Structure 1
Amino acid sequence: MTYLKSAYLCLAVAAIGLVMASCEKKEVPVRFAIASDFHAPDVPGGQERVEAFIKAANDENVDFIIDLGDFCWLDSASQVYRDIWNNFKGEKYHAIGNHDLDRYSVDEYVEGMGMPNRYYSFDKGNFHFVVLDGNNYSDGKEIIHYDHANYGKYPYSNHSYMDKKQMEWLEKDLASTNLKTVLLSHQSIDSELKNGAEVRSILEKENKRAGFKKVVLAFSGHNHSNYTKKINGISYMQINSASYVWIGKPTMTEKRFPEEINKKYSLMAYSMMYDKPLYAIVTLTEEGADIKGTKANFIPPTPKEVGLGDSIGVYPLVSTIEDVYVNFAD
């Protein structure tokens, strides 16, 4: 009798344990592939670079892919890049870059790339993602959206603003979710946006209002560099260009490419290209973001051989996206 009671007790305890285990919510990481600034039609080997990114994303079986702007044009010659992009099996997202609007209005580009809006948000797993649009300039009186390269008539110090309407939307969007939130934009909120302090204030106030660190991480492109920094508890990561870095002065490209290439891709005269495409695979959990980057070399002549240092202004001059782990804990 004692033996039977013990057996029944063991079975009951085991059954309770199984029920409790089945009720526990098992976390499923969110994984995505991220790249920026392909400038695919304007660089030699642009098609191969996009193909390498899509292959890596498919091989890694990520949940979605996103590019952070300056991807390709909408003309028939760029159809090949859009077709390659669409070969990814899962969800696909874009942010708008400034050069994406050199030939188009924002409405034309949004429609041509199949985007829901110029800024938008979506949920995946236990995370909320917000895609932002910093493609505005100031004429000294108003904030005006980029349209057919209209920003070019003003100095660089007038570029890269976020408009008031979008910031009001951002406040409401953040307040509408209890999920940890990741931001994605072309221009960086930490250094490139001229009114970035206003945007960061929105993020920091929402974290304070929510009572926990809701906004945890912001990715950006545009500056063709790589770094990770933390401002008031929020991490900001610059995703390097998939293709090259703009130097702004002659870079001995006659030693880098044959004459026909340099004639076809005039951008190369003032740039330095990477010998491999750069991108990253990001894995998000409740604890943090594990970012696995890629490394390349500069196609010689190297920055040192051209007489450059290790940065351009405040931005590191590197041909990598470094591996980094971002801890979400306070």
Structure 2
Amino acid sequence: MSKYSDLSFASERSRRRFLQTGALLIAGAGTAQAQTQGEEPMLRIGLMTDLHYADKKPAGSRYYRETLAKIAEASGQLAKARLDFLVELGDFIDAADAVDVELRYLKTIAKPFAEICHERHHVLGNHCVDTLTKEEFLGTVEQEKSYYSFDRGGYHFVVLDACFRSDGKPYGRNNSKWTDANIPPDELEWLADDLKQSNKSTIVFAHQRLDYEGNHAVNNSPAVRKIFEESGNVTTVFQGHSHANDYRQVNGVHYCTLRAMIEDSGLANSGFAILEIDTRGGLKIEGFQKQVSYQWT
């Protein structure tokens, strides 16, 4: 990845969007000179993804029980930031063979997560609704809907749910394959209408990836990207699922894939971030442990 990532756009809308979102600065590449230096952020948002908590032995690079220690360390860092709200981008828990066991996983990790910040938002991941239904997961974390939007500090935020099979049926009770992730027609219609109703700069939170086509991506991601681009307001998408740091800019929209907290043993192998939005719309992602830091100016 180059020090600065910018693209040429064919349309006037894309050129306008690029002027809004600007260039990407990677940590250590001159961020000290950014225009946001010395300013108090308008919003501070905690971000983490793919915690995969479960009370079971490690499997491959996933150390399920260590998530409790990793979230405790993250809590200490995030508490200092005085967050406006906190978002986890899916796969909060890992799969279990029985509903009561998976609910126990969820209640165990939900408690320390809730202690970090009063306002919290959960994006559904495929493992969140493996054995559990969406209603069971959402009821336990006290969240009304799986996809919705809200405004804070002059920004519009959208939470998406791609945990639907290609036939439109929602994930739950072991009825799905992780590669068959879709945003169904009624959610697409809602998304397009929601973005039309707002003239604010918009940030989207998703679990499965929306920046490309592949196993970790939403099957109909091109249709979702088209809605983003036609709205002219979506500047940034934060997503998880593929467990590694990644960044792409597609037709003027920033797609930032965060590093999974679950991967590898030890606190040094955790990953989480604080997103700061300044009064002029600049975005700074301060990454901790294995999470990469970025800045848009």
What TM-score, normalized to structure 2?
0.75
Which residue pairs with 1:194 in the alignment? 219
- TM-aligned CA deviation for residue 79 of structure 1: 2.4
Separation in structure 1 between the aligned mates of residue 144 and residue 128 of structure 2, nearest angstrom:
16
Which residue pairs with 1:220 in the alignment? 239
Which residue pairs with 1:292 in the alignment? 286
Separation in structure 2 between the aligned mates of residue 176 and residue 53 of structure 1, nearest angstrom:
36
Give identity over the alignment, percent. 26
Separation in structure 2 between the aligned mates of residue 237 and residue 92 of structure 1, nearest angstrom:
20
Which residue pairs with 1:100 in the alignment? 128
What amino acid is the match of 2:284? Answer: D
Cα distance per residue 1:165-212 (max 9 Å; x no partner): 1010001111111211000011111121111000000011111xxxxx
Which residue pairs with 2:81 in the alignment? 60
What amino acid is the match of 2:296? Answer: V
Separation in structure 2 between the aligned mates of residue 53 and residue 183 of structure 1, nearest angstrom:
22
Separation in structure 2 between the aligned mates of residue 187 and residue 78 of structure 1, nearest angstrom:
20
Which residue pairs with 1:210 in the alignment? none
Separation in structure 1 between the aligned mates of residue 243 and residue 224 of structure 2, nearest angstrom:
22
Alpha carbons of structure 1 residues 28 and 224: separation in structure 2 relative to 1, 3 Å: closer
Cα distance per residue 1:4-46 (max 9 Å; x no partner): xxxxxxxxxxxxxxxxxxxxxx995111110000012251322
C-alpha contact (below 8 Å) 1:99/1:149 kept by paired residues: no
- TM-aligned CA deviation for residue 122 of structure 1: 1.1
Q: Which runs of 5+ in 1 are unaligned?
A: 1-25, 208-213, 245-271, 296-319
Cα distance per residue 1:117-176 (max 9 Å; x no partner): 0101111111111000011222xxx23221122113xx83xx111111101000111111
Cα distance per residue 1:227-251 (max 9 Å; x no partner): 111011000000110121xxxxxxx
What amino acid is the match of 1:37? Answer: D
How many equivalent residue pairs? 238
C-alpha contact (below 8 Å) 1:28/1:125 kept by paired residues: no
Which residue pairs with 2:156 in the alignment? 128
Which residue pairs with 2:292 in the alignment? 322
Separation in structure 2 between the aligned mates of residue 218 and residue 196 of structure 1, nearest angstrom:
12
Which residue pairs with 1:283 in the alignment? 276
- TM-aligned CA deviation for residue 86 of structure 1: 1.6
Alpha carbons of structure 1 residues 96 and 77: separation in structure 2 relative to 1, 3 Å: closer
1:237-316 alignment runs, 5 A limit: 237-244=256-263, 272-273=264-265, 275-276=267-268, 277-285=270-278, 286-295=280-289
- TM-aligned CA deviation for residue 55 of structure 1: 2.1
C-alpha contact (below 8 Å) 2:66/2:265 kept by paired residues: no
Rg (Cα) greater in structure: 1
Secondary structure of the corresponding residue to residue 288 of structure 2:
coil
- TM-aligned CA deviation for residue 287 of structure 1: 3.3
- TM-aligned CA deviation for residue 77 of structure 1: 4.8
Separation in structure 1 between the aligned mates of residue 117 and residue 221 of structure 2, nearest angstrom:
35
Which residue pairs with 1:19 in the alignment? none
Structure 1 residue 181 corresponds to structure 2 residue 202: yes
Secondary structure of the corresponding residue to residue 168 of structure 1:
helix
Q: Pick from 18, 28, 36: which aligns with 2:49?
A: 36
Structure 1 residue 110 corresponds to structure 2 residue 138: yes
What amino acid is the match of 1:119? Answer: Y
C-alpha contact (below 8 Å) 1:235/1:326 kept by paired residues: no
Structure 1 residue 46 corresponds to structure 2 residue 59: no
What amino acid is the match of 1:32? Answer: I
Which residue pairs with 1:145 in the alignment? 170
- TM-aligned CA deviation for residue 75 of structure 1: 2.1
C-alpha contact (below 8 Å) 1:30/1:284 kept by paired residues: yes
Which residue pairs with 1:172 in the alignment? 193
161-170 or 101-110: which moved more?
A: 101-110
- Relative to its length, the structure with more helix (as a share) is 1
C-alpha contact (below 8 Å) 1:123/1:129 kept by paired residues: yes
Alpha carbons of structure 1 residues 231 and 77: separation in structure 2 relative to 1, 3 Å: closer
